[in-house]
Amino acid sequence: MIKMRTLLLMLLVLSLGFGCACNKKKGETEPVSDDLKTSLAEQNNAFAFELYRLADQPGKNLFYSPYSITSALSMVYGGAQGNTAVQMAEAMKFDLPAAQQHQAYLGLQQSLNAIGSQGKAELNVANALFGADSNAKLIEPDYLALLRESYLSDLYSLDFTDFSGTAQFINRWVEEKTKDRIKDLVNEGHIRDSNEGLVLVNAIYFKGSWLNEFEPKLTFQDKFYVSSTERTEENSRPVDMMTARAEYPYAQLDGLQILELPYAEEELAMMFVLPDEIANMDKDLNTESYGQWQEALSPQEVKIYIPKFKFDLTLDGLADMLKKLGMTDAFNLNLANFNGIIPDETGRGLYISDVIHKAFVEVNEEGTEAAAATGIVMATKAGPGPDQTPVFRADKPFLYLLVHKPTNTVLFMGKMCEPPKM
């Protein structure tokens, strides 16, 4: 627990260090064009599918928020220079000029948060920088302005020599922004190993009801097969299967079926992709195929079977995945160039020591709840039915994507291979 004296000091530093988030004028920016937001969505989705290829493990469940990861890394990118910036842009699929890149994130964040104010769904995106108070005067003012203006970021100055207290403070912020769904994002070791550095965090939370909710009385216990092709007792697991028959956007293509379930908030939907063989998906998953799936969807009456599920998952090895994408200098003590945040000449230059991502998802008869948080720790350098009605029976491994429809941004993405234990 943080001692009372330490807590009072921390609260004082919050008001005197970087400035309280309440001083930001969040509603006084020029509107961001739809073209910029669409370009950003294409970048995000390209990264989402590339990350799936790297993170996918046979027979293992997967869930993450590509939007959260790219948002957090884009904040870091705002202070990258030289080859570090080039590598980050290539790895993250950033292809807009830097100023437009950050403006696009502002526009998309504003669009997403506006959904929550419409009353049909809860959707909140938040960003924050937690820096060591010993570096408060070293961080470039232009960088802090970028975080405030383009990422609507909270800015905190904390005592990083209090490893436990600082970790608890960051984790409480994450818990608050994700309605207690994401816990313990960082630990004492992250703060200790940062060598009085800083932590950048993005958090996203969603809760929404289906446009047409499932009837709980129709939910029944069924079998889910962990193999796409071998429907044996050995490969079966019990699940609570939701079912309905109605008109949905649906398509059947070569080797897979696609179903889109709309939420009551019309700007959001969940896409289910049921392949004949889940093992082949990493080869065919890209922005082109994603666009083809969307174009193929058309409203038609479908009998659907969707299992209820609930997962808490951590995306292990994210830093190594980013290195495989070519983003290596950012993690290198000697090569990282984040002079746009803290210049190396101050003796407190930065590099990325870890990237953490945790996510939560629950799908039931009422709708979906999903949350995710990404932390960037920066260290200093010291089967068919009896009639012709199509049937979508997700009783084997499948993908699911929670999509912001106006921009086609994939906010969350997952794969279910093994159902949760009942």
For the stretch 41-89, pLDDT in tens is 999 999 999 999 999 998 899 999 999 999 999 999 999 999 999 999 9
**C-alpha distances out from residue 43 to 108, 140, 152, 245, 343, Å:** 13, 27, 21, 36, 29
pLDDT at 31: 75
Q: Report whether pLDDT(13) > 90.
A: no
Which residues sit opposite 392 in a β-bridge?
304
Q: Residues of 321-347 as b/e, b for ≥16 C-beta within 10 angstroms? A: bbbebebbbbbeeeebbbbbbbbeeee
Confidence of residue 107 (pLDDT cuts 50, 70, 90): very high
Q: Report whether pLDDT(123) > 60.
A: yes
Q: Two tokens at 213? A: 């909710």
Q: Residues of 231-269 as b/e, b for ≥16 C-beta within 10 angstroms? A: eeeeebbebbbbebeeebbbbeeeebbbbbbbbebebbb
Same fold, 13-209+311-380 and 216-307+383-416: no
The residue-averaged pLDDT of 198-209 equals 97
pLDDT at 19: 38
Which residues sit opposite 243 in a β-bridge?
305
Domain locations in the chain as residue ranges: 13-209+311-380, 216-307+383-416
For the stretch 281-307, pLDDT in tens is 878 899 999 999 999 999 999 999 999
The residue-averaged pLDDT of 157-169 equals 96
pLDDT at 399: 87
**DSSP-derived secondary structure letter, 124:** E
pLDDT at 29: 57
DSSP string, 36-86: HHHHHHHHHHHHHHHHHHHH--TT--EEE-HHHHHHHHHHHHTT--HHHHH
Supply the CATH classification number for the domain 13-209+311-380.
3.30.497.10
Q: How many CA atoms lie within 13 A of 331 on its CB side?
A: 16
pLDDT at 302: 94
pLDDT at 23: 37
For the stretch 315-371, pLDDT in tens is 999 999 999 999 999 999 999 999 999 999 988 899 999 999 999 999 999 999 999
CATH superfamily of 216-307+383-416: Alpha-1-antitrypsin, domain 1 (2.30.39.10)
